[in-house]
Every structure is written in C-alpha cells, then in structure tokens.
Structure 1
Amino acid sequence: MRIGKEKVSRISLAPVMLALSLAAGNFALTPSAYALSELHKIPGQPNDQPAQGSAQGQSQPQGGTTPGVPMADPLVNSQNSQGVDKTPGTQDNSKPVEVIYDISKAPEPVRKMRQQIVEAAASGDLERLRPLMGTGAEQTQVTVGEPTEDPIGTLKDLSGDPDGDEILAIMLDIVSTGFVHVGQGTADDMYVWPYFAEKDLKSLTPPERVELLRIVTAGDLSDMQEFGGYNFYRLGITPDGKWKFFTAGD
C-alpha cells in the first residue's frame, strides 16, 4: 500500500525540485518521497492550506471489537477557511474530544454501517461498497468539492492498483482505529475515523504514533507534523447510519 503512494510522490515532487535546483545553479536532483503527496490526484482538493487539530481525553481500548479488525473511529477537525472547499468532517477543533475505542458506545445504525463497510472492504470487491453509498444528495462523498457521478470509479482511480485493492486496505486501516463523536446537536453530528484528525500530532504518545504508522509511513507523519495536522483519509458516519464521506486532505 505504501509503495504505491511513495511512487506517486516521487513523480509529483520531481518537477518542483528540479526547478529549485536549476535556479540555484545546482543540477543535482534529490526528491523526497512522501506517500501523502498522492493526494494531489483528488479533484478539488486544496493541497496548500494548513490544518490543525487537537483532542484530549483518550479512553482505553475495550470490548466490542469486530473479529480481525481493530476497533475505533477518529474524526476530521480542521480550521475553518473562507472561500476554500473544506474536507468533509472538518470543524472547529477548539474543544477537546474524547477518543473512543469501544464501538458499542456508538448508536446501532453507526455500528451496522461500519460493519457493512468492513465486510465489503475485506471482500476485495470494490463494487460491494456501492449499495452502501446512497445516491443523489445522500451519496457518500469521496472527493472534496463537487460530487462525483461514480464514487466507485473515483475510488478505483485513487487506488495505487487497477482493481482498487489498495484503497480498500486503507479503508480497513482507517476504521480499525479509535474514533470520535463530533458536532453533537448540530447538522454536523458525526462519528469520524480516525481520531488523529482531532489530535495535535506533535503531542502523540508513543502508542498513538505506532497506531498512526499503521496507516501512513514515517515520512508521512513527519510531513503531517510540519504541515500542522492529519491530512490523510478519513471516514464519517452520521448517527442515523448514513455513510457521509470517505475523503483525504486537510
């Protein structure tokens, strides 16, 4: 999974590094590879806007996990910005949120949708996600900005392999982490995975860093810390069980 992302990263950074080297009179080219640089492929995704997140109060892992898949869901909270499309799930992160590992604390519709996503992704058949994504205004968002007519086709295009296996593996990794419940009592009420989008990545504990490195590479983590927050994939489910988004960005 990471090999595919780093390959894209090397390609996308090469023109920029070459231009800088020539301007300095130095013809040596030394591009650095960060797997998250592949996110430039997402239509409408702003790649230069900093994001930040913070969260406090993490509960200990408990029972209720899905066999073979670690439990948890975080959410995406980033700074509000005017005139720029925001990644679904981002919100005001000035208030601390609780990281939850016990899926039984989520409403039954949320638990059911998460389980269906896990089963579909684990099957290796991208098409099994389609019935879970809804249609029209209720369709699951997979890109930032304008909705796509074919979310499954878009996910396949974003994957590092022709069959979409990589994106399914990423999806499983995402819903296997701790999660957060945000926007209670508002139209943005949501259960979001992973919780890292709500955390200050520079303050992660050693166990939290290990958990994040199950999703991204060490280079990605370093890049995120410099960037100001988690900017990889995140997944959101509404309290009534609608799969709202699976997107990447800040």
Structure 2
Amino acid sequence: MRTGKEKVPRIPLAPVLLALSLAAGNVSLAPAAYALSELHKIPGQAANDTPAAPGNAQGQSQPQGGAAPNVPMADPLVKNQNNQSVDKTPGAEDNSKPVEVIYDISKVPEPVRKMREQIVEAAASGDLERLRPLMGTGADQTQVTVGEPTEDPIGTLKDLSGDPDGDEILAIMLDIVSTGFVHVGQGTPDDMYVWPYFAEKDLKSLTPPERVELLRIVTAGDLSDMQEFGGYNFYRLGITPEGKWKFFTAGD
C-alpha cells in the first residue's frame, strides 16, 4: 500500500543532460572548458579564437603583471660593477680609469721623494722662510695662488694663514703631504705627483676610511660643500718627476 511518501527511484541528472546534449548534436563540452580559459585570456584575443598549442608563445597564459613566462625582463637603468656600463654620479669626473692611490713614497722617483722630505722638514720647523729656497724663482717659482704668479710666495702664504706667523698654513701643508697621493698626466707636460689624492677622486664615492682621512684635513661642513660643488677644492700640492715643487694652491 502506497502512503504517498514512498520513495521513488531517482534518476541521475548528469547522464540525462549528457544524452540530451548528444541528441541535440552538441558533442563537445568545450563551452565549460572555455569559460575557465577566459580567466587567463591573452589581452586582445577574440572570444572565438582557438587557444594555441602548448609551447606556442601566442597561446601561453600571461600573468596580470604583463610579463609572459620565460621572457627575460628588461635590463635595469643602473647596472652594477660587473657590467660594462655603469651609471655615473652626477658631477663626478670620468672614472673609466680608477684612481690609483699611492701611500708608499718609495715608489716615486728619488727627486720627488727628496723634495717632499724637504717640504716636511721646513713645515715642521715652524719657520715659513725655510720654504723659500724650495720654491724657485721666476718662471720656475712655485705657484701659491690660482692665476697670475705672486712676486713673494712666502708673503702670500703668510697672508693666507689664519695667524700672523703662518703656522696654520704650515700645519695644513704637513697634513696634505701626509695623505695618500696620485700620479697624474703620465707622458704629458703635466706629469705630476699630487697630494692629497682627493684632488683626483669623486668625493661621493669615498669609503668610510677615506672620509675619515679627508676629515683630518677639512671639516664636515667643508666636505658637504665640496660634494655639492662636485670636487675637492681645498689645498693641494704638486711635485714633478724631476723634483720641482710645482704648486701649493687651493681651488678646483
């Protein structure tokens, strides 16, 4: 006896739908698969385009960032030291040939070594006049100002010093020739050994020890101004390979 609540055998729905689809001539379930592919559709691909076979670059799905898999990214604007081109700091000099800083005075010619030694002895004495015999005369006179040579280099150095006896300028001279130095202008009329090496170095690339060494000569405010200016502009001293004291000047 049926009660109205008797269970009726349930026919699975999926086979029925499949049969109806086959009967209607639709033999592919592609619409459902295609709907999934729409999630990663390549921009610009028409809705009825047939996806390319795997391995075809046009058929590969593309990340939302816009870069296709296995495609190399563009080179960075600034390359590191291992690359051929290196972005240069604005205001820096040409660093294609790194500056070689020399600390070993025995590596320089004997005339250079002798002149430096005489300058150190005269400056350490506290007597500015002891520099005069080292400075030459006429066209060979040591340059102590930028521009036209002065008639009395010792008097000019005394005027540049912060004290009436010239002790400050002698102390600066000692500090300058106590640093590392560089050899510049090899094979030219400007062949010279120059102290300090900061005169030929990009100040924005200084290492911490180099900064400390420079701050033994100038103040932190001076260093900041130099970096803004684009180079070292304090006193520098130059001696030719023949041992001639060429200059002791401040400026760029």
TMscore range, shorter length? 0.5 to 0.7
Q: Is the 8 A contact 2:99 2:201 kept in 1?
A: no
Q: What are the superposed Cα offsets for residues 81-134 of structure 1, whole Å, 9 maximum, x if unpaired?
A: xxxxxxxxxxxxx64321000000010000000000000000000000000000
Aligned to 1:143: 145
Greater relative CO (CA pairs within 8 A, separation 6+): 1
Q: Is the 8 A contact 2:119 2:131 kept in 1?
A: yes
Give the gaps of 5 or more residues in structure 1.
1-50, 56-93
Q: Is the 8 A contact 2:181 2:193 kept in 1?
A: yes
Aligned to 1:165: 167
Equivalent pairs: percent with the same residue?
94
SS of the residue 1:169 aligns to: helix
Alignment of 1:118-137 (within 5 A): 118-137=120-139
Aligned to 2:156: 154
SS of the residue 1:170 aligns to: helix
Alignment of 1:59-138 (within 5 A): 95-138=97-140
How many angstroms does 1:54 deviate by? 5.9
How many angstroms does 1:53 deviate by? 4.1
Give the gaps of 5 or more residues in structure 2.
1-90
Residues 1:223 and 2:225 aligned together: yes
Over aligned residue pairs, what C-alpha RMSD do you find? 1.5
Aligned to 2:18: none
How many angstroms does 1:199 deviate by? 1.0
SS of the residue 1:141 aligns to: coil
Distance in 1 between residues matched to 2:137 and 2:225, nearest whole Å = 35
With normalisation by structure 1, the TM-score equals 0.63
Aligned to 1:184: 186
Aligned to 1:4: none
Counterpart amino acid of residue 212 in structure 1: L
Distance in 1 between residues matched to 2:93 and 2:232, nearest whole Å = 8
Distance in 1 between residues matched to 2:151 and 2:218, nearest whole Å = 29
* Runs of 4+ with deviation above 2 angstroms: 51-55, 94-97
How many angstroms does 1:137 deviate by? 0.4
Distance in 2 between residues matched to 1:97 and 1:109, nearest whole Å = 23
Q: What are the superposed Cα offsets for residues 143-171 of structure 1, whole Å, 9 maximum, x if unpaired?
A: 01100000000000000000000000000
Aligned to 1:239: 241
Counterpart amino acid of residue 158 in structure 2: K
How many angstroms does 1:184 deviate by? 0.6
SS of the residue 1:216 aligns to: coil
Aligned residues: 163
Distance in 2 between residues matched to 1:234 and 1:225, nearest whole Å = 17
With normalisation by structure 2, the TM-score equals 0.63
